[in-house]
Structure 1
Amino acid sequence: MLFGVRMHAFQSGRRPLSPGSRAGLGAALVLLALVSAVEIADGPQAHYIALFVAAPFLAAALAPWRVVLGVGAGATMVGAAFVLAEERVSLDNAVSVVVIALATGIAAAVAAVRQRQAEQIAELSRLAAVAQQAVLRPLGPQVGTLTVAGRYISATATADIGGDLYEVIDTPYGVRMIIGDVRGKGLDAVRLASIVLGSYRHVAFERADLRAIVTDLDRAVARSVGDEDFVTAALVEERGGTLTIVNCGHPAPLLLRRGQVIPLEPPAPAPPLGFMPVVRPRVERLEPGDRLLLFTDGLGEARRDGEFFPTADRAWRLLGHGTVGDGLASLETALVEWVHGRLDDDIALVLMEYTGPRTGGGCPVPSWELGAAEA
């Protein structure tokens, strides 16, 4: 009966209590009931009412301050009732009732501080989620001649924010993609990732040559970071069935074709953005049904007991069937199982499938292929 009355009083006209608040309230009420039962069984003289002081502090661990005040008020009234029921009121017991009342105020203050900190943390988490969503917009499912899916796997279960980035855009020069990894973590990494993506979303529509885009992005990074900061990146363009890749210190994409997994290594290595990379494009002809996996180095560094996740060996079995979204889900499941749920770094994944040539016209030939075409 006491429990029902208290729950009604706390929830009347207010939003329902959270599971944690209900647990704290329930534990405090159980403590009050147990101590009361012991006092009743012990006889008319109160010996244990000082234990009631623990009830508001127990509630303060999980419940809001208003609930703590209610619990403390109940504990004070029950303690006072036991004292007044004594044949001869004990000074020690009377002081105990006053101590319960004072402890209630302290516990309510503690609960208020804890609740305010929890709300601030929750707000920061929401802001982090908004920042991450602003950086990593949803992809696909269809961009030009490609079906596309993206996935971000955070190394920290409580934080979905990091410096990995990706974008896919349908431009006048074909479908263009970027995947990158900012050195570092946290808000500084997100800030730099947003700068790179903001620049890319602009210049991808303005520059006909991927190498010019790399130059623009390198300048944007150099203006925004210190001497030791950088961004690895791979830029990909699909134009009329021709796949062109330029790589700035980033893991090579994997081409999945008829059961084979082909790493698309660059013709020559180039440093990351921020170190003035000079890139050489790699050009491949696509076949309908080809899939391309872009990923950040968190995938290549995922390991258990010193053994790295066998991405290339398992890529076709995990990614070669179903939709591209299903493939990424399978890859994430296998990866998390491999590392037993403990990742050392965030991972960004983009999987695209070439569905065939456009109808109703094509796209210009890349500038570095003009000589070959004229010949």
Structure 2
Amino acid sequence: MRSQVVLRALPFAVLLAVSVTDLLAGPDLGFLPLLTLGPTFASVYGSVRRTAFVGVAALALCVPLAQYQGVLLTRQHNITLATIAGVTAASMIVSRLRLRRERELADVRLVAEAAQRVLLRPVPRRTADLRIALSYTSAAAEAQIGGDLYEVVTTPHGVRLLIGDVQGKGLTAVETAAWVLGAFREAAYDMSELHEVGERLEASLGRHLSGETFVTAILAEVHEDEISLLNFGHPAPLLIRSDGKLFPVEPPEESLPLGLAALAADRPKPHRVAFGEGDQILLFTDGVIEARDPGGAFYPLTDRTDLLGADDPQEALDALRADLIEHVGGPLPDDAAMLLLRRNS
């Protein structure tokens, strides 16, 4: 990457700039102590060996420059040499500590990603008269693994879906996601009504969660010409009609996330909307709509749904994901999950 090339070249560019400046300025101003910037910058990105090499290069430059300026072996020059050596040694220690931390973060990230892959099983691409597409983009910042979760199961009561987002990051969030997914997979088969599935999830989380941890989620159940949605404080999905009309499916009443039922007077109730041939519904986590471009503008999801017009739902969702990443201009700051359901026409 271009930024990596710049960081690798920066220490040497600094040494060159200081050397030229010292030659032009003469011995009166004394820019030689600034050669310590070379190993300092090297420790930000380079290895311990590379940092040491840059420090040696700084010392090697300091001697002929001092000779040229007529200050070699003076008291000030000896102090400069000692300063460069000391800063190089300190920079090598910093580089070693940085590399160790990077390895630890990489290990934590690998463990969390492996756990997520086990929990988030592949969803069926076709079930009944539905075609299903999935997109899951993991945040790339250090070990900031999130708790986004999803599931699609075919049960005796119809096709049921779950998409959710656990508060927080890291392995704790992944553990909470495991409880939610396990409870949903069991309840989706056992409970005849969608609200009973939600109650089972709430009861399960009540036994395992502590403090103010919560999970925003949407449960869905597909019927012959409709879809039922049970929203627990999650962003409203987008329903795209076969004629291209678009609107968010807001719940009739606002509801609290899973895990906060004790604070609510009433439990949320499922609501139905028409879902006929050629219709699509996009469920997503807040990592999608809260993604910002370099200027701070949020991703305009409702203005990008024309990308979902491809014949293959997975190709359509992949195009939307690519547009999201292009909007951000780099790694996403938070996990982003999207489920697209299309009723066959």
How high is the TM-score relative to the length of structure 1?
A: 0.65
1: CA distance between counterparts of 2:79 and 2:298?
66
- What corresponds to 2:197 in structure 1? 213
Label 1:333 to 1:84 Cα distance change in 2 as closer, same or farther (>3 A). Answer: closer
Q: Which amino acid aligns with 1:67?
A: R
Secondary structure of the residue that 2:98 maps to in structure 1? helix
Secondary structure of the residue that 2:59 maps to in structure 1? helix
Q: Which amino acid aligns with 1:65?
A: V
C-alpha deviation, 1:171, in angstroms: 3.8
Label 1:65 to 1:355 Cα distance change in 2 as closer, same or farther (>3 A). Answer: same
1: CA distance between counterparts of 2:37 and 2:333?
42
C-alpha deviation, 1:163, in angstroms: 4.0
Given candidates 162, 179, 186, the residue that maps to 2:169 is 186
- What corresponds to 2:207 in structure 1? 223
Identity among equivalent positions (%) equals 34
Superposed CA RMSD: 4.8
Given candidates 9, 32, 42, the residue that maps to 1:59 is 42
C-alpha deviation, 1:268, in angstroms: 7.2
Q: Which amino acid aligns with 1:325?
A: Q
- What corresponds to 1:119 in structure 2? 103
The number of residue pairs the alignment matches comes to: 330
C-alpha deviation, 1:179, in angstroms: 1.8
Q: Which amino acid aligns with 2:73?
A: S
- What corresponds to 2:283 in structure 1? 294
Secondary structure of the residue that 1:102 maps to in structure 2? helix
Secondary structure of the residue that 2:42 maps to in structure 1? helix
- What corresponds to 1:273 in structure 2? 258
Question: Structure 1 residue 22 and structure 2 residue 4: aligned?
Answer: no
2:133/2:313 contact within 8 Å kept:
yes
C-alpha deviation, 1:352, in angstroms: 0.7
C-alpha deviation, 1:19, in angstroms: 3.2
1:132/1:160 contact within 8 Å kept:
no
C-alpha deviation, 1:178, in angstroms: 0.8
Given candidates 126, 134, 138, the residue that maps to 1:150 is 134
Question: Structure 1 residue 199 and structure 2 residue 199: aligned?
Answer: no
2: CA distance between counterparts of 1:261 and 1:140?
25
Label 1:213 to 1:87 Cα distance change in 2 as closer, same or farther (>3 A). Answer: closer
How high is the TM-score relative to the length of structure 2?
A: 0.69
Secondary structure of the residue that 2:175 maps to in structure 1? helix
**Cα deviation per residue 1:47-106 (whole Å; 9 max; x = unaligned)?**
775554443334333321111212223433454567789999634244544443333322
2:146/2:334 contact within 8 Å kept:
no
Structure 1: state its 5+ residue gaps: 1-17, 357-375
- What corresponds to 2:93 in structure 1? 109
Secondary structure of the residue that 2:207 maps to in structure 1? helix
Structure 2: state its 5+ residue gaps: none
- What corresponds to 1:355 in structure 2? 344
Secondary structure of the residue that 1:204 maps to in structure 2? helix
Q: Which amino acid aligns with 2:131?
A: T
* Higher gyration radius (CA): 1
